[in-house]
A and B are shown apart, each in its own frame.
Chain A
């Protein structure tokens, strides 16, 4: 056999590395900061949910709150993926490979919400 089918990948593994105590502290500090941020966002979301219920605000305000929720969720998701999952530290081609397919989801959301609204309208028109 000319080529071995076993490819030595050992050099690709995340090898342990020595670091100074200061570097270790910096890493832990970043983790704690992100934790605090995620907790604060969750608390804000719950408080808005309690005090600005859909029935207590005007439709326009509710629409704004809805988008605010979505933005907060995306911020939370971004921090989890980029910091906790270390995607921010990966190579750019890996980042693109993972994040780009999610564009399809946005399109699918648009289709389904649009269609859902239209079906509701259609049913209400029939019942009229």
Chain B
């Protein structure tokens, strides 16, 4: 957070050297710049998805007819599981905010508690995603489809999904599912690893010795960004 005393400064003095014109430390600034570039990467993925959807509008499946499974039940519950995943990620984002807030008052116990919960939330999300992938790949009854096998067109029973064909609709539907949620899941995974390392360092008292918990804030920026991306994936892949 910027210091209030330096918030309003004349531009000449701001850029005159000796102080950060942005009122942020080097590390935090670089985390923001990394997030901008990462935002562009995810934007291109989602825009490519939009392009494919519009080109193959006639063979794109109804997404709520694909994702209607829920663990421990065979009921038809469209979108509910994805909604739950979104909720899990939002909650883990909230625990991260509380960890950052605890860091602002040098509250080591608070940081450890909330950051620990954030790591748990991230792991729960990854587990949910693994289940969703499993359900998607295994599939249901399957449909008869004409596919190219060894250069020849053949009519086969297609069940579930792989990168060549899937029972739900156009090939690119499954490809985009694997790529976008996979790329996001990898971000969640690295976020969990980073948070775990920082939890460990906080427990060791590294930040107490340093006098500030800004590292928690930087990891927090990354973690919130992962949540932010999921908000967009949820809308543009699942809802529209």
Interface residue ranges, A against B (CB under 8 Å)? 9, 11-19, 24, 27-28, 31, 35, 38-39, 42-43, 45-46, 49-50, 53-55, 66, 69-70, 72-73, 76-77, 80-81, 83-86, 89-91, 93-94, 97-98, 101-102, 104-105, 108-109, 112-113, 115-117, 119-120, 123-124
- Minimum CB–CB distance from B56 to chain A (whole Å) comes to 8
Q: Is the CB of B50 within 8 A of A84?
A: no
Interface residue ranges, B against A (CB under 8 Å)? 1-2, 7, 14, 19-26, 28-29, 32, 35-36, 39-40, 43-44, 47-48, 50-58, 62, 64, 78-80, 82-83, 86-87, 90-91, 93-94, 96-98, 100-101, 103-106, 211-214, 217, 220-221, 224-225, 227-228, 231-232, 234-235, 238-240
Number of A-B residue pairs with CB-CB distance less than 8 Å in the complex they form: 176
CA distance A104 to B29 in the complex (A): 21
Q: Is the CB of B50 within 8 A of A113?
A: yes
Partner of A15, one of B20, B28, B97, B212: B212
- Minimum CB–CB distance from A24 to chain B (whole Å) comes to 7
Set of chain A residues within 8 Å of B39, measured between Cβ atoms: 102, 105
Partner of B22, one of A11, A80, A91: A91
Chain A residues touching B, majority SS: helix
Q: A66-B240, A98-B32 are in contact. Are A85 and B225 (CB under 8 A)?
A: yes
Beyond A101-B36, A101-B40, A102-B43, 5 additional contacts (C-beta under 8 Å) are A18-B105, A28-B101, A84-B97, A85-B220, A91-B7
- Minimum CB–CB distance from A13 to chain B (whole Å) comes to 5
Set of chain A residues within 8 Å of B7, measured between Cβ atoms: 91
CA distance A41 to B14 in the complex (A): 40
- Minimum CB–CB distance from A47 to chain B (whole Å) comes to 9
Which residue on B lies nearest to A100, using beta carbons? Answer: B36
CA distance A105 to B87 in the complex (A): 26
Set of chain A residues within 8 Å of B93, measured between Cβ atoms: 80, 84
Q: Is the CB of B98 within 8 A of A16?
A: no
